[in-house]
Amino acid sequence: MRTRLTELLDIEHPVMLAGMGGVSYSALVAAVSEAGGFGCFGASTMSGDEMVAEIRAAKALTDKPLGVDLLTAMPDRLMTDVEALIREGASVFAAGLGVPRDVITLCHEHNVLVLSMCGKVRHAIAAVEAGCDIVVAQGTEAGGHTGQVATLPLVPQVVDAVGDRVPVVAAGGIFDGRGIAAALMLGAVGVNLGTRFLASKEAPISEEWKQAILRAQSEQAAKVEVLNDISPVPGTVGYGTVLRSLPTPFLEEWSAKRGEASRERDRLRQHLVSTHQAGRQHDTLLTAGQTADLVVYLRTLSGKPPWSEVEREVKRIEGEAR
């Protein structure tokens, strides 16, 4: 299937792996790129050195194009990280929350495309006016930090606003060929999938998190406002985003006492970091979108290359969309 996105990114299928912080690491990124989609690192949770090591690890597994997502809400390290991803050969810089113009200029000087995640029409317009090359219209159904507007009304509005200037990719609530077909009908030229790839063998998250996704019901993937009390960036930097997660004892406890959560912000944030580092993020956060109910486990067949199952899945999803 050829679209403006497959042409621009030089990929076979209009399916992107979302740059999920803590999830989109080398094995998963390489698997999706090698399968003909576009693998994108979620590097917002990595140190600069770790990001470089991860890009090199993916490049050892595939010579296909790949990208890197960073949250621009962390300005102190943004420029250094962007310089590093350019040096390491990424072809796309995906910007989680807004993109400073000097970063766009730097990327364009090195033929690196800039992708902007947008949950509102006016953010998409601002991104394109600043020089971004691709806009992802991300509906509220998505896992991770999202805005208020759902994918179905958001995508055609963003397409009407900026689709004549840049390719628009749909994200949020899409998990199979039906969703891709719908996104294309709305005027998008591809899809950016997160939750769909969470419960895959290559995703370096705990088995408990994967099982929770397989067991979940859509309505359990809810916005957790308390996270913005504990960790104001990126939720309160003007984009009004709130993280969507399945329930955990931590979220239930602190959602009931948000004032105390704000006051104990430093301790709780440290707790989030340490559970993450211990591979026990499921004790605190089970980030997932509303497709959690619909995801099936992508199991790698033993003895096959690590991307065999993902490749089949990407092709199957695209076949359904046709």
Ligand X SMILES: Cc1cc2nc3c(=O)[nH]c(=O)nc-3n(C[C@H](O)[C@H](O)[C@H](O)COP(=O)(O)O)c2cc1C
> What does the binding site for ligand X look like in residue numbers (CB under 6 A)?
18-21, 23, 42, 44, 69, 71, 96, 117, 138, 141-144, 171-174, 192-196, 198, 287-289, 291
CB 175 within 8 A of CB 151: no
| Residue placing its CB nearer to ligand X in the complex, 226 or 317 | 317
State the minimum distance, in angstroms, from the CB of residue 203 to ligand X.
9
Q: Which H helix or E strand runs over 156?
A: helix 151-162
Which C-beta is closer to ligand X: that of 8 or that of 193?
193
Nearer to ligand X, 156 or 179 (CB): 179
Which residue(s) pair with 298 in the sheet?
A: 200
Q: Tell me the chain's radius of gyration from C-alpha atoms.
A: 18
Residue 245's closest CA among 214, 213, 197, 269?
213
Of residues 33 and 192, the one with the C-beta less far from ligand X? 192
- Nearest approach in angstroms of CB 95 to ligand X is 8
Q: Distance between CA atoms of 29 and 271, rounded to whole angstroms?
A: 28
Tokens describing residue 267: 């301790």
| 104/59 Cα distance (integer angstroms) | 24
Between 30 and 142, CB nearer to ligand X: 142
- Report, in Å, the least distance between residue 15 CB and ligand X: 11
Shortest Å, Cβ 264 to ligand X: 24
Instruction: Return the structure tokens found at 28.
Output: 């998963």
Residue 255 burial class via C-beta count within 10 angstroms: exposed 0-12, middle 13-18, buried 19 and up: middle
Q: Which is nearer to ligand X, 117 or 183 (CB)?
A: 117
Strands of 113-118's sheet in order across: 15-17, 191-193, 168-171, 134-138, 113-118, 92-95, 66-70, 39-42
Looking at this protein, which amino acid is placed at residue 73? A
Q: Which is nearer to ligand X, 208 or 264 (CB)?
A: 208
As a whole number of angstroms, the distance between CA 132 and CA 180 comes to 23
Least Å distance, CB 17 to ligand X, is 9
Tokens of 77: 């390290």
Two tokens at 193? 């999938």
Minimum distance from residue 242 beta carbon to ligand X (Å): 12
Smallest gap from Cβ 40 to ligand X, in A, equals 8
